[in-house]
Amino acid sequence: MPLRIAIFDDNKNIRESIAMLLQTEKDFEVVGSFAHVLDCLEDVTQCSPDVILMDIEMPGMTGIEAVKIIKHELPDVLILMQTVFEDDDNVFDSICAGASGYILKNFLNTKLIDAIKELEFGGSPMSPSIARKVLTKMQQIPQHVSNMPAPDYKLTAREKEVLACVVNGLSYKMIGDQLFIGYETVRSHIKHIYEKLHVASLTEVVHKAMKEGIV
């Protein structure tokens, strides 16, 4: 079964030359080719590709927006971004939007086929310099969000529920309503949370819970 590929690029020449290039691989099948992303969801749903080649610079809607939309509905398609520039913002926005690879247009003809195969194989093709940028970015991210496991304060399931409510800014009364328990019960749980977290106010609870990723 061939790998189904869809192309989004506003330049007709590029679309056609990409399609031509991809057809040299007999495992690849170009199932769609679109000049804009305004109807990207329909387009993609219709041709159901395994891999999407998405241009970042697109008229009407940016390719990054399209990635978000498509990934939201179809989380399993792999999206390879193509662009002329590799400025930080576009790279990171694409990644956060859900792209799985990043290829520069200059190297399309020499590296596209390999990049797509890499994608298929579970890899993420990207230029070395982009990889560096990504790593550098990750290193700037606070520990707990990137990797540190949430410390275990031995909160019970119920206490965790209450904690989640507290973090979301609910008052005791609102928490009671939310969890179908009385005001005093909420208080009781929160007293226990205070003890276990070694804090003495709601603000500290929220701070600690968010900082350490308990919620």
Partner DNA sequence: TACAATATCCCCACTTTTGGTGATATTTTT
Partner DNA sequence: AAAAATATCACCAAAAGTGGGGATATTGTA
Rule CB under 7 A: which residues touch DNA?
A: 154, 156-159, 171-173, 176, 179, 181-185, 187-191, 194, 200-202
Q: Residue 134 interacts with a copy of itself (CB under 8 A)?
A: yes
In angstroms, the CA 35 to CA 10 distance is: 4
Q: What CA–CA distances, in Å, run from 46 to 31, 32, 174?
A: 10, 9, 45
Type of residue found at 166:
V
For the chain, strand residue ranges (E) read 3-8, 28-34, 51-55, 78-83, 101-104
CB 36 within 8 Å of CB 109:
no
Q: How far is CA 54 from the centre of its chain?
A: 16
Cβ nearer to a copy of itself, comparing 20 with 148: 148
Q: Which of residues 40-99 bind a copy of itself (CB under 8 A)?
A: 89, 92-93, 95-96, 98-99
Q: Residue 173 interacts with a copy of itself (CB under 8 A)?
A: no
* Closest CB 194 distance from a copy of itself, rounded Å: 12
CB 199 within 8 Å of CB 205:
yes
User: In DSSP terms, which residues pair with 34 in a beta bridge?
Assistant: 8
170: Cα within 13 Å, side-chain hemisphere: 19
Cβ nearer to DNA, comparing 118 with 159: 159
Cβ nearer to a copy of itself, comparing 36 with 160: 160
* Closest CB 137 distance from a copy of itself, rounded Å: 7
Q: Residue 142 interacts with a copy of itself (CB under 8 A)?
A: yes
Cβ nearer to a copy of itself, comparing 55 with 118: 118
The one of a copy of itself, DNA, none whose footprint includes residue 20, by CB under 5 to 8 A per kind, is: none
The one of a copy of itself, DNA, none whose footprint includes residue 154, by CB under 5 to 8 A per kind, is: DNA
Instruction: Count CB atoms within 10 A of the CB of residue 20.
Output: 10
Among 51, 166, 193, 214, binds a copy of itself (CB under 8 A): 166
Q: Residue 35 interacts with a copy of itself (CB under 8 A)?
A: no
Cβ nearer to DNA, comparing 75 with 169: 169
Structure tokens at 154: 């031995």
The one of a copy of itself, DNA, none whose footprint includes residue 38, by CB under 5 to 8 A per kind, is: none
* Closest CB 199 distance from DNA, rounded Å: 8
Structure tokens at 118: 């890499």
CB 51 within 8 Å of CB 29:
no
Structure tokens at 102: 């990043």
Cβ nearer to a copy of itself, comparing 56 with 95: 95
